């Protein structure tokens, strides 16, 4: 054995990571808008449902080492879209993605965030556990029904909001003498943020909910006489509370009633109720696609693609998202 300089073999690995955006079947139009804002194309993924109802997913290109963002709101059909999201996450995990972020603009089961009665589940927590078990590294969502749901996760959650975008729509509309009405006491914080942005006073609707998806407006707290009212909520489901609230505000002297909400769930008779209601306009975001066969004359849709695209960019670049969360410099 001869003495000589040691020979050291070094293997260098590229540190470059690629951003890859994929869409489930929940809201492909929103996914396309996000991709356009980011200046990239949607990744290729084959998703289909077998005859027995089972869902199959296969990525059409390599995701190894990539930052994978999967856009899939868990809207109707809720359980199918949720299962599809879980399968897409696991498929990316098994294909050696570097990091997987579930972009869930509408988080299904978010209203089941606590036990209101004995022997009830906390299904919002169950969904969080399923996402983590599937292999997701991060969740990006918008206007959770209860912000403390972020605590259901043991991974980072970016909780964005459409309220500044919705408020700016009305601010630029130039309405006079505006009052912002919360549909219940729990929505006061959201209404206050909305009101501060449009320079409006506050009112509250009190209601009784005897059954799920049923409500009865009882009283209006606040001065609404001679003012233009805007009802602000995170979710519009069957629109019963919304339409009864509009009637109550007009009965108390409001000159006109508008409404704004992030998530247009719009179940059952919601479209017909809105069409027949005294509402001037309902302004929503596109976290959930609207039905194409329903009455939509009074409904205005603003895109959340810019908010989500900016957040995706900052997450990928390891930059702060706090300014985006506050809605700074966001326009519709």
Q: What are the catalytic residues? A: 207
Name which of 239, 235, 277 is nearest 257 in CA terms: 277
Strand partners, 48: 56
| Interatomic CA distance for residues 60 and 35, integer angstroms | 17
C-alpha to C-alpha distances, 287 to 221, 263, 313, nearest whole angstrom: 31, 6, 18
For residue 33, the surrounding DSSP H or E stretch is helix 28-38
Residue 192, Cβ density class (10 Å: 0-12 exposed, 13-18 middle, ≥19 buried): middle
How many CA atoms lie within 13 Å of 292's alpha carbon, on the beta-carbon side? 0
Give the max Cα distance, the chain: 100
How many CA atoms lie within 13 Å of 134's alpha carbon, on the beta-carbon side? 25
- Specify whether the CB–CB gap between 165 and 194 falls below 8 A: no
For residue 79, the surrounding DSSP H or E stretch is helix 78-94
Q: Distance between terminal CA atoms of the chain?
A: 74
Measured from the Cβ of residue 184, the count of other Cβ atoms closer than 10 Å reads 17
DSSP state of 226: T
Name which of 327, 322, 323 is nearest 304 in CA terms: 327
What stretches of 60-129 adopt beta strand conformation (E)?
Answer: 67-71, 99-104
């Amino acid at each position: 054995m001869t003495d000589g300089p040691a020979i050291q073999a070094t293997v260098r690995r590229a540190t470059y990571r690629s951003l890859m955006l994929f869409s489930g079947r929940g809201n492909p139009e929103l996914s396309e808008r996000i991709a356009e804002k980011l200046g990239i194309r949607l990744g290729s993924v084959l998703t289909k449902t077998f005859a027995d109802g089972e869902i199959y997913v296969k990525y059409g290109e390599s995701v190894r080492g990539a930052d994978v963002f999967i856009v899939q709101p868990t809207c109707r059909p809720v359980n199918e879209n949720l299962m599809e999201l879980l399968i897409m996450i696991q498929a990316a995990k098994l294909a050696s993605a570097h990091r997987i972020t579930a972009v869930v603009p509408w988080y299904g089961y978010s209203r089941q965030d606590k036990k209101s009665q004995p022997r009830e589940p906390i299904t919002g927590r169950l969904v969080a556990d399923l996402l983590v078990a599937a292999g997701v590294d991060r969740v990006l969502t918008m206007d959770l029904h209860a912000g403390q749901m972020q605590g259901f996760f043991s991974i980072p959650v970016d909780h964005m909001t459409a309220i500044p975008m919705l408020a700016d729509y009305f601010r630029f509309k130039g309405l006079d003498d505006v009052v912002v009405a919360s549909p219940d006491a729990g929505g006061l914080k959201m209404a206050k943020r909305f009101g501060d942005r449009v320079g409006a006073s506050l009112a509250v609707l009190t209601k009784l909910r005897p059954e799920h998806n049923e409500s009865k407006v009882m009283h209006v707290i606040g001065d609404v006489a001679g003012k233009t009212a805007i009802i602000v909520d995170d979710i519009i489901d069957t629109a019963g509370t919304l339409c009864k609230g509009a009637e109550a505000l007009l009965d108390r002297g409001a000159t006109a009633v508008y409404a704004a909400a992030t998530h247009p769930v719009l179940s059952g008779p919601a479209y017909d109720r809105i069409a027949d209601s005294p509402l001037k306009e309902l302004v929503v975001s596109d976290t959930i696609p609207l039905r194409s066969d329903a009455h939509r004359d009074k409904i205005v849709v603003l895109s959340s693609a810019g908010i989500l695209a900016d957040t995706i960019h900052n997450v990928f670049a390891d930059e702060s998202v706090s300014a985006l969360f506050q809605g700074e410099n966001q326009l519709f």
